[in-house]
Amino acid sequence: MQVVIKADAAAVAEYGAAIFIKQITQQPKSVLGLATGSTPVALYQQLISAYQAGKLSFSQVKTFNLDEYLGLAAEHPQSYRYFMQQQLFNHIDINPDNTAVPAGSATDPLTACQDYEQHILDAGGIDLQLLGLGRNGHIGFNEPSSGLRSRTRIKTLTKETIADNARFFKADEYQPHLSITMGIGTILDARKVVLLATGTSKAAAVKAMIEGPLSASCPASALQLHQHAVVVLDEAAASELNDIEFYRHIEQENQMLLQRLGRA
């Protein structure tokens, strides 16, 4: 796991966006895994700016979102499909047919989960997966106790996650307690994974993910098994790490090595 610590949330977004811009530039037909939540919004804004400046095209890109609330239609303002339209897709040149979000309003959600896995396979698998981090260590909606090899399926949300996400719903509005999410196994199959976490509310989950045991109690700890996972943190999210100086040292060594090899 590569641990990158940046000064603040803006620098985290910039670092994450640079990885996506490089990926799309080098491989215009990239298959991207995308995430919702507040954390990726600033990264999406950077991608939109790069597109508007003529530096980036999404015309051949395919995307698969991590998760969706079960029971919300695409047009619902709290659905993750709606979020992606507002925060990214409506502002770039992506073909709408190439954007996939799990079917939250499917009449047969169990089949929809299997179809989603097949759809990812048919696209050739995910090249680069973006992740946020729940306060309880969830990735996508893989809540604690999720199988570490799980595939796309229906998951029950914890009370904590429902409370965390209540801020997006009006007081009298129906808030789903079930979701469709890529599994941890699905996420681990991505060729590269970039997880962003900012703020002190994520510090405990960040510590468990990086320094804790590999455990279904912290689903994000499964990234310890990934060959190419990059975790980008701000100072606040990194504040509970025991070995913070070592991670900074590794990054310095990495940068020097890349420069020496002419690959910086």
Binding residues for ligand GLP (CB under 6 A): 35-39, 66-67, 132-134, 140-141, 161, 165
Q: DSSP secondary-structure letter at 62?
A: E
Distance between CA atoms of residues 100 and 81, nearest Å: 8
CB of 134 to ligand GLP, least distance (A): 5
CB of 204 to ligand GLP, least distance (A): 13
CB of 248 to ligand GLP, least distance (A): 24
Of residues 199 and 212, the one with the C-beta less far from ligand GLP:
199
Q: Could you tell me if 127 and 141 are in contact, meaning their C-beta atoms sit under 8 angstroms apart?
A: no
Q: Could you tell me if 5 and 244 are in contact, meaning their C-beta atoms sit under 8 angstroms apart?
A: yes
Q: What is the residue type of 28?
A: P
Q: Could you tell me if 165 and 147 are in contact, meaning their C-beta atoms sit under 8 angstroms apart?
A: no
Q: Which residues are catalytic?
A: 67, 136, 138, 143
CB of 125 to ligand GLP, least distance (A): 20
Of residues 56 and 231, the one with the C-beta less far from ligand GLP:
231
Distance between CA atoms of residues 208 and 132, nearest Å: 15
Q: Could you tell me if 194 and 16 are in contact, meaning their C-beta atoms sit under 8 angstroms apart?
A: yes
Of residues 56 and 202, the one with the C-beta less far from ligand GLP:
202
CB of 38 to ligand GLP, least distance (A): 4
Handedness of CA 87, 205, 243, 128 (dihedral sign): negative
CB of 82 to ligand GLP, least distance (A): 14
Three-state secondary structure call for residue 154: strand
Q: Could you tell me if 229 and 223 are in contact, meaning their C-beta atoms sit under 8 angstroms apart?
A: yes
Of residues 23 and 87, the one with the C-beta less far from ligand GLP:
87
Distance between CA atoms of residues 92 and 110, nearest Å: 32
Q: DSSP secondary-structure letter at 1?
A: -
Q: DSSP secondary-structure letter at 157?
A: P
Of residues 98 and 176, the one with the C-beta less far from ligand GLP:
176
Pairing of strands 178-181, 67-69: antiparallel
Three-state secondary structure call for residue 77: coil
Of residues 67 and 127, the one with the C-beta less far from ligand GLP:
67
